[in-house]
Structures are given as structure tokens and as C-alpha cells.
């Protein structure tokens, strides 16, 4: 349908794109089936009418879109909507209808937003379905074969088995939770289980991030026993959250039984249920509790005014990037490069996956041209070139990067203003997604931006240059590093060791901040946990620019180190078999030690 949206240009993301994308997320991608070819005598066009089922599905979607934008719908539009495909024109001679022996199927994966300027332009593509289809599995996009061939050659596509394992875990967990939270057990609350993060974007992430949303309804009639328990705790959110996590954990152990290596409630800033399955799939579940809705009969997924943890942030990226499939290719390349070079990972003081996604979304929105029908490897290289050119010269010390054009206000005392790089979340209140960064890690990230920018400037063959970028390796320790602090963690079982390492990661950020701010030290963190001779031991290293003699006499450093190590002794779940130790050594000793492994 056509809509009169000429007065909403400044707010198109707020008013048009986000509600539309949240609506499309409820419609799974589908195939249109054509059984005949017809001809219109009036305008001499060749038509391909949709079969009954396809017409019915398209009309349902059409009706929902009309309802969503009822105020903007042009009054000249005929209510009698009969969708068909127009394939061309004929010479005016009468043609007879053709019935096809074998039907033709057209996959529908995206809805294109066209804008009439001097002519029609495709300005956005919005995908159908809550989860974007991973690139490389079933290609129905505007990607050239040379770009596909490059991704195959560099092994950048996600393994089909890996994706299907995550998909299977999500579906089974949905059914598992439906058994305890359903219309029979809850009358005063509704429950939804949704994916977010890399899985929702169709990317190959380490974890499957999910959110379980418990939403209180206005009606408090016919309370069940579970309703009464939840209502009693509704003003004590920590207690209610932990109760829900306990229920989930028991249900998971009951349903999955021998398929789990580890399942535990992680008490971080926000409690998270973390599950590690036998096939190494890791699922993390965040619980969000919503009070009584201010809107009547609004579906959880399509409620613009009540954003869901993680979900709406991802949806804002999808509507911002213009062409999601190009964004998927772009972000896959940049993430792979960042992981290879050791500047990926929020827990280590670098940028997390969402920050990298924002950086890529900004470039896509700014530089992808309208009507991108076929995207080649050369065009992809130009996008990569823009990424490193802009971010290598960006004034990260004083400027913020924000996708929203609206003015954002932030409280200087807010914890989200921490961090040496300011990459702001696209959703209000525009929190800083890179708050884990410190000056040291920021400078290392910028150095890597500049290094790649120089490579691009010096070379002319875009294929070879892209390969060279992906083949860059982790430069830990940096050539300026003179000493290493090495932490050794051990446990009696793999599950115990995972807990121990996770605890260390959760305490690392404060130690790094203390080293830089209180001790005035340059810090480089490694982004990998090492396994050496013993399977139940893990090693983690942090580099410093001063030698070990200076560091060993640094009173403030030892104060910060003891404060950091003291938290291991106070760990609430620590057992006698969970041990830790540390060594301060020169870079030469550290290198020699590793060559003997």
C-alpha cells in the first residue's frame, strides 16, 4: 500500500520503520506460489496471479500494515487488494491464459520500502521473521557471487550444524518453559521467550542470548497458585527474578537431564542463567519482569513503547542499516578481524559484539547507496575502506558515536558514562555500550584501525587486501610490553573450572581501571584463556609497559592487585578444590615459559 509519509522524514525510524519491523518479526518468511500466467488487455501487462494460499497470506500481512499506519494511508487506495506479480508488457495482441504444469515458487524474505523521489528508490529492506537467516545457508539476497566465493574461501560462513544446534536448543527451551508458564498456570501474567544478540542477527556468536519476559496483566481475577506467588513478590524484583531462575533451572535439569555439562545462576550485575550443553552450545537466559502494561492488548513483541531487553536494540540496528544482508556480511568480516587481532571482548576491556555492530551499522547507513540490487566484492571493499578510514581518524577522546539523530541527555554521574570510548546504544536512554574500555585498550583499538587503514591506502588489489586484513594476528603482548602478570586458575572438574574462570572475568574490569587510573599504568589484556599441560588448569595474562622490578616496588599496584585477588578468597561458591595463584615476570621469562609448553 501507499502511505502519505512526507511530513515524517525526521522521525521515520521512530514512527515507521521500528513498528513495521516489529510487526514483520511476527510473520515468518514464506514462498509465493504461481500456477498461471495471465494478461491484462487494459494496460498490456503480463501478470502472474498468486495462488489461493499465497494471496491469503499476503492479504493478512497487508491488513496488518494498513492497521499499523491507518492515519497515513492514502485515501485513494482501493480496499479491494488483489496481489499479483507484473513481469512485463506485450505487443497488444490478445493472449490466452497459460496454466503451468509445474508451479513456480518465489521466496519472500524481505519487504522493501520504496520512496518516490524523481522515481521510486528502495531505501530500506526489512526482513520477515524474528531471527535473520544466517548468510550462506540459503542465499536469497542481493549479494554477488564473487563476494559469496570470497566468504567461502576465507571460511567466514557459519557451519550449518552449529546454527541448527542453536536453533534446536532455542525451540526446545521454548517448549520446556511453556510447560511451567502457560495459560493454565498463569492468569495474571503472560510469558514470552525471545532471542537477541548475534543469533537474532543471524551471526555466528559464541553464545545464544535469550530473554524470558514475564509481563503482568491488568486483570487480577482467577489467580493461580503461581500468580499469587509472583504477585506477592512483584515489588521485590531481585527475589522474584531469582525465584523464576530457580524454576527455570529445575525445569531444564528435568527436561534435558544428561544433555547438560553445566547449568547455573550467575549473580552478576543482572542475574543470568547460563547453560552449557554437551555439544558445546552455550545458552544464556536473562529474565525481564514488566509491570502492568500502560497500553491495552499490545503484543509483547510489537510493543514499541515497552522495549524488551536486547530485542529492541537489535531491531533498531536492523532498521538502520538499510540492507540487513549486506550488514550481516560486513559485520561478520569486521568481527572476525577484531577477534583475530585481539581487540574483541567486553570483559577484557575492549569492544563487545554490540559495539562492533553499532560501528558497522553507522557505516552501512551512511554509505550504502539506494537501489543496491547487486552487491559485489569491490563494493564490499569500499565499505571496509570507509570503516577504517572514518574510525582511524575519529576523535574517540572527546566525541560520541550515536546512531540516533535525536538529542540525547545523560547524567555525568551515571555508571554508563564510564569508558574511554563512547559508542551509544541506539535505544533511549542511549547508554554507552563501550563502558568497559580504558585509555590503554582504546589506544590499542585505534592503533589497529590505523594499521589496517595504512594497509588499504598502500595496496590496490582489493581481493588480496581483504585477505591480508583477515590474516592479521593477535599482537599480544605488544612490543612495548615489558612485564606480565600471569594468573593461574584450577579446579577439580571442568564445570568448576568454568565457574572459576567466569568469576575471574567478572572481576577483571575493576582491576584494569584501578591499574590505569590509580597506578597510572598502561595495560594490555589478552583476549584468550590458555590451556597448557593440565586440562583442569587455565592461564590468563595481563601485560604492562614497565618492567617487573618497577612493578614489584609499585605500592599502589600491589594494593590494587591484593584487592583484586582478595575477591577470589571471598567468592561465595568457592570450594576447597578451586585454587588460584599469580606470578609477576619479565616478558622474556614469559616467552620462554610458553615455548616450553
Q: Which domains does the chain have, with CATH numbers?
A: 9-129 (3.90.1140.10), 147-309 (3.30.460.10), 313-470 (1.10.1410.10), 483-595 (3.30.70.590)
- Count the neighbouring beta carbons within 10 Å of the beta carbon of residue 222: 8
| CA distances for 214 relative to 196, 230, 280, 292, 307, angstroms | 16, 10, 28, 10, 13
User: What is the distance between the alpha carbons of residues 211 and 309, in angstroms, rounded to a whole number?
Assistant: 7
- Count the neighbouring beta carbons within 10 Å of the beta carbon of residue 444: 24
Q: How many residues does the chain have?
A: 597
The tens digit of pLDDT for each residue in 502-511 reads 899 999 999 9
Residue-level pLDDT at 5: 59
Residue-level pLDDT at 344: 97
Per-residue pLDDT of the chain (597 residues; tens, 9 = 90+): 566 655 555 566 667 888 899 999 999 999 999 999 988 877 788 889 999 999 999 999 988 888 887 776 666 555 678 888 888 877 767 678 899 999 999 889 999 888 776 677 888 899 999 999 999 887 667 899 999 999 999 999 988 888 999 999 999 999 999 999 999 999 999 999 999 999 999 998 889 999 999 999 888 889 999 999 999 998 999 999 999 999 999 999 999 988 998 888 887 667 889 999 999 899 999 999 988 755 444 443 344 446 788 999 999 999 999 999 999 999 999 999 999 999 999 999 999 999 999 999 999 999 998 777 789 999 999 999 999 999 999 999 999 999 876 545 455 445 456 789 999 998 888 889 999 999 999 999 999 999 999 999 998 799 999 999 999 999 999 999 999 999 999 999 988 898 899 899 999 999 999 999 999 999 999 999 999 888 899 999 999 999 999 999 999 999 999 999 999 999 988 999 999 999 999 999 999 988 776
User: What is the distance between the alpha carbons of residues 308 and 287, in angstroms, rounded to a whole number?
Assistant: 10
User: What is the distance between the alpha carbons of residues 434 and 509, in angstroms, rounded to a whole number?
Assistant: 12
Q: Taking a C-beta distance cutoff of 8 angstroms, is the pair 245, 211 a contact? A: no
pTM of the model: 0.92
Residue-level pLDDT at 450: 98
| Residues whose CB is less than 8 angstroms from the CB of residue 27 and which lie 6 or more positions away in sequence, other chains included | 61, 64, 128, 129
DSSP state of 432: B
Number of H helices, E strands in the chain: 18, 17
The tens digit of pLDDT for each residue in 259-297 reads 998 888 887 667 889 999 999 899 999 999 988 755 444
Residue-level pLDDT at 140: 64
Q: What angle do CA 80, 296, 232 make, to 5 degrees?
A: 150
| CA distances for 164 relative to 160, 161, 202, 208, 261, angstroms | 6, 5, 12, 12, 19
**How do 120-127 and 422-424 pair as beta strands?**
unpaired
Torsion angle of alpha carbons 94, 97, 102, 106, nearest 10°? 80
| Residues whose CB is less than 8 angstroms from the CB of residue 26 and which lie 6 or more positions away in sequence, other chains included | 130, 299, 301, 302
The tens digit of pLDDT for each residue in 367-410 reads 998 777 789 999 999 999 999 999 999 999 999 999 876 545 45
User: What is the distance between the alpha carbons of residues 250 and 184, in angstroms, rounded to a whole number?
Assistant: 19
Distance of alpha carbon 179 from the chain centroid:
28
User: What is the distance between the alpha carbons of residues 430 and 495, in angstroms, rounded to a whole number?
Assistant: 37
Residue-level pLDDT at 498: 86
Closest to 25 measured CA to CA, from 357, 319, 345, 407: 319
The tens digit of pLDDT for each residue in 445-460 reads 999 999 999 999 998 7
The tens digit of pLDDT for each residue in 57-114 reads 999 998 888 888 777 666 655 567 888 888 887 776 767 889 999 999 988 999 988 8
What 3-state class would DSSP assign to 397?
Answer: coil
User: What is the distance between the alpha carbons of residues 34 and 50, in angstroms, rounded to a whole number?
Assistant: 5
Mean pLDDT (the chain, rounded) = 88
Amino acid at each position: 500500500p501507499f502511505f502519505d509519509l512526507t511530513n515524517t522524514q525526521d522521525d521515520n525510524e521512530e514512527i515507521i520503520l521500528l513498528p513495521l519491523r516489529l510487526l514483520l518479526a511476527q510473520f515468518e518468511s514464506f514462498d509465493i506460489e504461481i500456477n498461471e500466467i495471465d494478461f491484462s488487455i487494459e494496460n498490456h501487462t503480463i501478470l502472474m496471479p498468486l495462488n489461493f494460499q499465497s494471496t491469503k497470506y499476503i492479504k493478512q500481512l497487508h491488513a496488518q500494515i494498513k492497521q499499523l499506519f491507518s492515519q497515513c494511508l492514502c485515501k485513494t487506495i482501493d480496499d479491494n487488494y488483489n496481489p499479483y506479480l507484473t513481469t512485463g508488457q506485450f505487443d497488444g495482441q490478445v493472449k490466452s491464459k497459460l496454466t503451468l504444469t509445474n508451479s513456480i515458487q518465489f521466496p519472500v524474505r524481505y519487504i522493501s520500502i520504496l520512496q518516490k523521489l524523481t522515481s521510486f528508490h528502495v531505501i530500506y529492506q526489512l526482513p520477515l521473521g524474528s531471527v535473520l537467516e544466517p548468510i550462506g545457508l540459503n542465499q536469497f539476497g542481493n549479494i554477488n557471487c564473487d563476494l559469496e566465493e570470497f566468504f567461502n574461501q576465507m571460511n567466514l560462513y557459519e557451519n550449518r550444524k552449529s546454527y541448527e544446534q542453536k536453533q534446536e536448543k532455542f525451540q526446545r527451551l521454548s517448549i520446556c518453559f511453556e510447560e511451567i508458564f502457560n495459560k493454565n498456570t498463569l492468569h495474571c501474567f503472560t510469558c514470552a521467550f525471545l532471542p537477541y544478540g548475534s543469533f537474532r542477527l543471524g551471526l555466528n556468536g559464541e553464545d545464544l542470548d535469550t530473554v524470558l519476559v514475564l509481563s503482568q496483566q491488568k486483570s487480577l481475577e482467577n489467580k493461580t497458585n503461581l500468580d499469587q506467588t509472583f504477585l506477592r513478590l512483584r515489588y521485590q524484583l531481585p527475589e522474584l527474578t531469582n525465584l523464576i531462575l530457580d524454576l527455570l533451572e529445575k525445569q531444564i535439569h528435568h527436561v534435558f537431564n544428561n544433555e547438560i555439562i553445566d547449568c547455573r545462576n550467575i549473580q552478576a550485575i543482572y542475574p543470568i542463567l547460563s547453560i552449557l550443553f554437551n555439544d558445546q552450545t552455550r545458552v544464556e537466559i536473562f529474565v525481564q519482569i514488566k509491570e502492568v502494561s500502560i497500553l491495552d492488548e499490545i503484543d509483547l513483541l510489537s510493543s514499541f513503547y515497552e522495549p524488551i531487553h536486547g530485542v529492541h536494540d537489535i531491531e533498531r540496528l536492523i532498521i538502520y542499516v538499510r540492507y540487513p544482508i549486506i550488514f550481516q556480511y560486513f559485520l561478520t568480516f569486521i568481527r572476525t578481524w577484531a577477534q583475530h587481532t585481539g581487540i574483541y571482548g567486553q570483559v577484557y576491556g575492549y569492544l563487545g559484539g554490540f559495539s562492533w555492530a553499532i560501528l558497522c551499522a553507522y557505516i552501512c547507513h551512511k554509505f550504502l547507496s539506494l537501489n543496491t540490487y547487486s552487491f559485489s566484492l569491490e563494493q564490499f571493499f569500499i565499505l571496509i575502506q570507509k570503516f577504517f578510514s572514518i574510525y582511524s581518524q575519529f576523535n574517540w577522546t572527546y566525541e560520541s558515536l550515536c546512531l540516533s539523530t535525536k538529542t540525547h541527555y545523560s547524567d555525568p554521574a551515571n555508571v554508563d558514562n564510564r569508558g574511554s570510548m563512547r559508542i551509544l546504544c541506539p535505544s533511549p536512554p542511549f547508554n554507552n555500550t563501550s563502558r568497559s574500555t580504558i585509555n590503554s585498550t582504546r589506544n590499542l583499538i585505534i592503533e589497529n584501525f590505523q594499521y589496517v587503514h595504512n594497509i588499504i591506502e598502500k595496496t590496490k588489489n582489493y581481493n588480496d587486501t581483504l585477505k591480508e586484513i583477515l590474516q592479521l594476528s593477535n599482537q599480544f603482548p605488544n612490543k612495548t610490553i615489558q612485564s606480565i602478570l600471569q594468573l593461574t586458575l584450577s579446579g577439580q572438574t571442568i564445570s568448576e573450572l568454568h565457574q572459576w574462570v567466569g568469576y575471574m572475568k567478572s572481576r577483571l574490569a575493576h582491576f584494569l581501571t584501578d591499574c590505569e587510573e590509580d597506578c597510572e599504568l598502561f595495560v594490555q589484556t589478552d583476549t584468550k584463556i590458555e590451556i597448557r599441560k593440565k586440562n583442569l588448569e587455565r592461564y590468563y595474562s595481563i601485560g604492562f609497559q614497565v618492567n617487573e622490578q618497577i612493578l614489584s616496588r609499585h605500592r599502589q599496584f600491589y594494593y590494587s592487585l591484593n584487592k583484586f585477588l582478595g575477591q577470589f578468597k571471598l567468592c561465595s561458591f568457592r570450594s576447597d578444590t578451586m585454587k588460584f595463584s599469580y606470578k609477576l615476570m619479565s616478558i622474556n621469562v614469559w616467552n620462554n615459559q610458553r615455548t616450553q609448553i
